[in-house]
Amino acid sequence: MDIKLKIWRQEGPKSEGSFVDYNLTGVSKDMSFLEMLDFLNKKLIENGDDPVVFEHDCREGICGSCALFINGRPHGPDDLVTTCELRMTKFNDGDTIVIEPWRAKSFPVIKDLVADRHAFDKIMEAGGFISVNTGSAPEANSIPVPREKADEAFDAAVCIGCGACVAACKNSSAMLFVAAKVSHLALLPQGRAESGKRARAMLAKMDELGFGSCTNTGACEAECPKGISLAHIARLNREFLKEGFRS
C-alpha cells in the first residue's frame, strides 16, 4: 500500500523543527510500524538523505524505548500497545500518518522524533528504590506476600517508563509514572516502610522538573500501553497525605 507521512524533523535540541512530508510506496500490511519507518529510512539513505531518528530497542513492548505520537495519540491508534507493537494493518492505503515526538517541557526534543526522557531517571533517583542492602536473591518464601497484593504490585510494576502518560496528559503530568513506581513498592513488605517518604520525594522531584499537576482527566490511563490504572494515582495521593506534615 501507499501512505503519506508527515514527520517532525528537527536538527538538534536548539534548532527549530518542522514537519516534512514523505510519500512512501510499497508498504506491506505485514510490517510493524517501526519496520515501516526502517523501510522509509532505507529509501532516504539510498537517496543520500538523512534518515529519520527515532528510538527503539526490544521491539516487543517491554523496554519502553519507542515513543511516538501518531495521529494525535501516544503509541498510535491501537489500545494497550507500544509503538513497536503497532502493526500497519491498523492503517489503510492512501492514509496520511502524522508522527511527532512526545511534547513536554520536561521531555525536550533531542533530534527528530527523540525526546530526552532523563527526567524519569531523576524521579527514580529521588526515591524509586528501597534503601537497604538487599544482598543476593532471598529465599522466595521467607517473606510471605498475599496473592492479591502481589498481583496489584505487579500491575504497577509493568510500567515500562515510556512516558505515554506525560505525552497524553494535557498538563504533561508524570503522575501515572510516579504512581506506578510508588504503588509497586508500597504494596510489598520491603518497600512499605518508606512509602510515605518515597511518595513525597518523588513528587517533589516531579514538580521540580517541570511536569504539570494531575487534574484526574484519565487520559494517561487510557493511553498507557500497559493499562496502568488511576487507582495507583489514588494510592500515591494516599501515601503523600499519610506522610502529613512530617517532612
Partner 1 sequence: MSSFLNASVGRKFLVSISGLFLITFLAVHLAVNLFLLAGQEAYNMAAHFMATNPAIKIMEPALALGFLLHIVVSAYLTVTNQGTRPQKYSMVDQRKTSSWPSRNMFVLGLLILIFLALHLSNFWYKMKFGGVAYIEYDGVQVQDAYTLVTGKFVIWWYALIYVAGAVFLRLHLLHGFQSAFQTLGLSNQLWYKRLTVIGTVYALIIAAGFAIIPVWFLAGTFLN
Q: Which of 65, 83, 172, 195 binds partner 1 (CB under 8 A)?
A: 172
Q: Which residues contact 72 (CB under 8 A, 6 or more apart)?
A: 98
User: For strand 73-74 and strand 69-70, is the pairing parallel, antiparallel, or unpaired?
Assistant: antiparallel
Count of residues engaged in binding partner 1, rule: CB under 8 A: 50
- In terms of Cβ atoms closer than 10 Å to its own Cβ (0-12, 13-18, 19+), residue 171 is middle
Q: Which of 45, 80, 143, 241 binds partner 1 (CB under 8 A)?
A: 241
Interaction with partner 1 in 46-85: which residues (CB under 8 A)?
69, 71-73
- Pull the grid cell for residue 154: 505487579
- Pull the grid cell for residue 218: 484519565
- CB of residue 157 vs partner 1: minimum separation in angstroms? 16
| Helix (H), strand (E), coil (C) string for 56-103 | CCCCCCCCCCCCCEECCEECCCCCCCCHHHCEHHHCCCCCEEEEECCC
Residue 190 is a binding residue for partner 1 (CB under 8 A): no
Give the x-and-dash track for 131-170 against partner 1 (CB under 8 A).
-------------------------------------x-x
Residue 240 is a binding residue for partner 1 (CB under 8 A): yes
- CB of residue 137 vs partner 1: minimum separation in angstroms? 31
Stretch of residues binding partner 1 (CB under 8 A), selected from 21-29, 49-57, 143-151, 210-218: 210-218
